[in-house]
Amino acid sequence: MVKRMVRDTSNKLLGIARDADPRWIAGLVCLLAALPIFIRNDYHLSVMILCLIDASLAVTWNLMVGYTGILSFGHQAFYGLGAYLSGLLAIKLNISPWLGLPLGGCFAALLSLGIGLPCLRLRIAPYVAIATLAFSEIMLVISRNWVSLTRGEMGLSGIPPLSDLSLFGSVKIPFSTGARIPYYYCILIIFLITMMSVYFILRSKMGLALKSVRENQDAAASLGVNVTQAKLTAFLVSSFFAGVVGSFYAHYVSVLAPGAVFGVGKMVEIVAITLVGGIGTFFGPVAGTFALVVGLEMLRGLEGYRLMVYGAALVAITLLMPNGLLTGLKTVYHRYVRTSKQSLSRT
C-alpha cells in the first residue's frame, strides 16, 4: 500500500518534472532570482550557491546518464579539471577569472575526449562506470602528486576571486569583498545557461539522437543515427558546463584540495541528487538538489551525517521506486513518450 502511494506520488511529480515546459523554467528562474530578497543571511546564501553548483553538475550529469545512457561515474573529474585550470591560470599567468570560466569549460571538454573516445565502443553500463571512475581517480592521483603544480593535499590557495565588474560604466559589482549576493547571481546565470543549453539540445534533433542511443544503440545506428556523434556531444557539452561550474567554484572558495573536487564524495552527491530527483527527467536534478542539499541543511545536526544520508537515500530510492525513478533508462523513456503524447492532448 505504501509502495503504491509512493509510486503514485512519484508518477505525479514525474509528470511535472518530465515535461520541460518553458513556463516552469521561467517560473523557477524568477523564484531563484528573487531569493536574495528573502534570504539575507550570508550562510544561507552560501548554501544556495553550493546548491546551484550541485544543481548544474546534476543537470549535466543527467544529460549524459539519464538522456544518453552513458553511466558515467567520473563527472567530478570535469568539475575538478575546470577548477584547477582556472585557478592555476589566475595564479600563474594572471589570467582574469572571468576568462578562466569558459577556459575551464573548454579544458574539461577537451580532456573529456580522453575518456569519451575509449568509452565509445563500450556498451555495458558497468564498463563505462568503471572506466569513467578510473578516469576521475587518475585525476585525483595526479592532482595529489604533482605537488609542484597543484600543491597536492596542501591545497592550492590564493586563487583570486572573480574580479569586480563595472556595468554600464558606473554600476560596480563587487566580487572581491566576498559578499555573497554577486556570486549567487553569477552562479544563477551559469545555472540558467546550463539548463537552457540542455533544454535546447533535448528539443533538437540531437536530443532525439541521444535518447535513441540510450534506448538501443544498434537500433539507433540502423536508423541512421550517428551514435558516435551523439555520445561525443553528450560528453563535450556535459563536461564543458561542469568545467565552467568548477572554475566558478575555484574562484568562489579560493582554495582547492584534490579530494574536494575529484573525490568520490562529490560523485556520490551528484548521483544521489539526480537519482532522488528523477533521472532522465528535466527537472529531476533540480528537484533532487533542493530535496537533498537544502533538506540536509534544514535538518541541522545532520551535517556530519551528510554522506550517510546520501547513501541511505540512494538505497531507499532504488528500492522503493525502481519502477518510478530508477527503472533503468528504458522504462523512463517509454513513460516519457507515452505521457508527452497524453499531455499534448490535454492542452
Q: Applying CB under 8 A, which residues contact another protein?
A: 71, 118, 121-127, 129-131, 133-134, 137-138, 141-142, 144-145, 264, 268, 271-272, 275, 304-305, 307-308, 310-315, 317-319, 322, 326-331
Report the nearest approach of another protein to the CB of residue 305 (Å).
Answer: 7
Smallest gap, in angstroms, from Cβ of residue 346 to another protein? 23
Choice between 99 and 264, CB closer to another protein? 264
Whose Cβ is closer to another protein: residue 254's or residue 331's? Answer: 331
| 185 exposure class (CB count in 10 Å sphere: 0-12, 13-18, 19+) | middle
- Which is closer to another protein, CB of 43 or CB of 127? 127
Report, in Å, the least distance between residue 127 CB and another protein. Answer: 6
| 122 vs 296, beta carbon nearer another protein | 122
Which residue shows C-alpha cell 550557491? Answer: 49
Residue 114 CB, nearest distance to another protein (Å)? Answer: 9
Choose between 149 and 315: whose C-beta lies nearer to another protein: 315
Q: How far is the CB of 5 from another protein (least distance, A)?
A: 18
